[in-house]
Amino acid sequence: MTGQIQGNLLLAQGGGPTAVISASVRGVIEEAKKHCCIRGIYGAKNGMDGLLNEDFIDLRKESEKDIKNLAFTPAAALGSCRRRLTEEDYPCVLQVLKKYNIKYFFYNGGNDSMDTCNKIASLAADQDIKVIGIPKTIDNDLKFTDHSPGFGSAARYAAICTMELYKDVESLPIHVCVMELMGRNAGWLTAAASMAKINENDGPHLVYLPERPFVEKEFLNDVKMWHEKVGGVLVVASEGIKDAKGNPIAESGIIDGFGHKVPGGVAQHLSNLVISKLGIKSRSEKPGLLGRCSIPMQSCLDREEAIKVGNFAVLSAVKGKTGCMVAIKRVSNDPYESEMGLVPLKKVANVEKKLPDKYINKRGNGIELSYKEYCLPLLGEPLPEYVSLRKTPLEKI
C-alpha cells in the first residue's frame, strides 16, 4: 500500500493482567510481520515504566512457537504497571518514541490506560506516529465496545467457581457462604456468577452489585429467608458494593498508582454480619487474582477475539488510523458473531460502563435473564454439567 509510514512498532501493556492479554500481544506481532512498512517490533517492559526507561525487548527475536503459545499463557507477557503519567512525563514519552523511530504505538489496557493512550495520541498527532488503544479488562467497563477481551474468561471462571461452590454448600447445608468477586465499580463480572443458576432454589441465591445501594437490613432479611428455605445459602457480592450514601461496604485502605481506592474485604464483612446479627454459621471466599488469570477456564471465544483486536489494531494503524481504540461490535447473538471497529480514544478515556439496570432484578439482589443471554456466548465452550441426584426415597421395609 502506497503512502505507508516506514518505522518501528512499540507495544506496551497497562493495568491488571487477564487470561487473554497476552493473546493480544500475539495478534499484534503476527499482523505486524505481514507489513513491510513495520521494521522493528518492540515491547516495552512493564508498560509506561518500560517506555520511559527505554527498557524494550525485540519481539522479532522471539520464537514462532512462543509467540503462538502467548494465547495460552496467563498474565501480561510484557509486564504491566499502574503508573499514572504526569504532565512532565509526556514530553519524555514523545522524545523516546522519536528516538527509537516509533511510528506505530499500541497500548493494551483498560480505562486509565486508554486515557494515557489518548494523551499520547494528542501529543503525537503532528509527528506521524499512529497511536491505537487495544482494549483489556475483566471488569468489562470500557464504553463503546460490546465487551472487552479478558471479560469472557473471567466471567467463565466466576460462573464455574460459583457452580462448584454451590454444590459444596448444597451438600452440607448448614451455613451461609459469601463469595467476593472483582470488578471495582461495575457489576458485570459479579453478575456472571448467576450463569450457574439453573433452578429457582439453586445458588447463587443472592447477588449484590455496585450499581445498587447495599442495604444491610434487606441483606439480612434475604439471607434469613433463604436459610430457612434451603439451609445452605450462597451469596455472591462485588468487591465494590456501597451503601446508600456511596460509601464502600469494605475497603482495603490501599491506594493504587492511579489514585483509586483498592476495594476488598466485602465477603468477610458480610460473613461477619451473618454471624453477629443472625447467629448463623458463615464463611467467606475470594478467588481474587486467580479469577483473572486462569488458563484452564479460559474462554476460547475470548482468546480468539483478543488475538483479533491485536490484528485489527495493527491493520488500522498501517491504514493511517490513529487516536482510536479497537471496539468489538456484536453482529448476532445466536449464533454469536462479532466484528471489529474503531472508537475515538477521547470518548473512551476514563469513562466507566456500568451494568445496565435492565439486567438487575427489582430487589437488587439478583440478575435478570436478559443478562444471561448477553453473557452466555462470551463464556466460550459450554459450561460443565454437574449432576444433581433425583434422591428418590426408598420405601422402608
Q: Which structural domain, as residue segments, surrounds residue 187?
A: 152-293+356-379
Catalytic (active site) residue 141: no
Residues 56 and 117 in one domain: yes
**Which is nearest to 157 in space by CA: 183, 134, 184, 185?**
183
- What CATH number has the domain bearing residue 374? 3.40.50.460
- What CATH number has the domain bearing residue 44? 3.40.50.450
Residues 137 and 189 in one domain: no
CA distance 103 to 132: 11
What is the reported pLDDT for 388? Answer: 86
Q: Which residues 6+ apart lie within 8 Å of 385 measured at CB?
A: none
CA distance 1 to 15: 35
Catalytic residue among 112, 139, 141, 222: 139
Residues 20 and 101 in one domain: yes
Region of residue 265 (left: phi > 0; alpha: psi -120 to 50; beta: else): left
What is the reported pLDDT for 38? Answer: 98
CA distance 227 to 262: 32
Whether 389 maps to a domain, the answer reads no
Whether 384 maps to a domain, the answer reads no
The label of the residue with cell 464455574 reads 160
Question: Could you read off the pLDDT tens digit of each residue along the chain, which spans 397 residues?
Answer: 445 899 999 999 999 999 999 999 999 999 999 999 999 999 999 999 999 999 999 999 999 999 999 999 999 999 999 888 999 999 999 999 999 999 999 999 999 999 999 999 999 988 999 999 999 999 999 999 999 999 999 999 999 999 999 999 999 998 999 999 999 899 999 999 999 888 899 999 999 999 999 999 999 999 999 999 999 999 999 999 999 999 999 876 666 655 656 667 999 999 999 999 999 999 999 998 999 999 999 999 999 999 999 999 999 999 999 999 999 999 999 999 999 999 999 999 989 999 999 999 999 999 999 999 999 999 999 999 998 888 899 999 8
Residues 136 and 47 in one domain: yes
Strands (E), the chain: 7-13, 38-44, 56-58, 102-109, 130-135, 176-181, 206-208, 233-238, 251-255, 261-263, 282-285, 324-333, 336-344
Q: Which residues 6+ apart lie within 8 Å of 396 measured at CB?
A: none
Whether 85 maps to a domain, the answer reads yes
CA distance 317 to 319: 5
Residue type at 134 in one-letter notation: I
The answer to whether 237 and 266 are in contact (CB under 8 A) is yes
Per the structure, the count of domains in the chain is 2
**Which is nearest to 363 in space by CA: 209, 201, 150?**
209
Whether 189 maps to a domain, the answer reads yes
Residues 33 and 101 in one domain: yes
Cell of 55: 527498557
What is the reported pLDDT for 260? Answer: 59
What is the torsional sign of CA 366, 368, 373, 375?
Answer: negative
Q: Say what the pTM is.
A: 0.94
Residues 159 and 232 in one domain: yes
Whether 397 maps to a domain, the answer reads no
What is the reported pLDDT for 252? Answer: 65
What is the reported pLDDT for 2? Answer: 46
Residues 302 and 289 in one domain: no
Residues 315 and 370 in one domain: no
The answer to whether 330 and 305 are in contact (CB under 8 A) is no
Whether 396 maps to a domain, the answer reads no
What is the reported pLDDT for 350? Answer: 85
**Which is nearest to 24 in space by CA: 141, 107, 140, 98?**
107
β-sheet with 282-285: strand ranges across: 206-208, 233-238, 176-181, 282-285
Residues 59 and 95 in one domain: yes
Whether 208 maps to a domain, the answer reads yes
The answer to whether 85 and 55 are in contact (CB under 8 A) is no
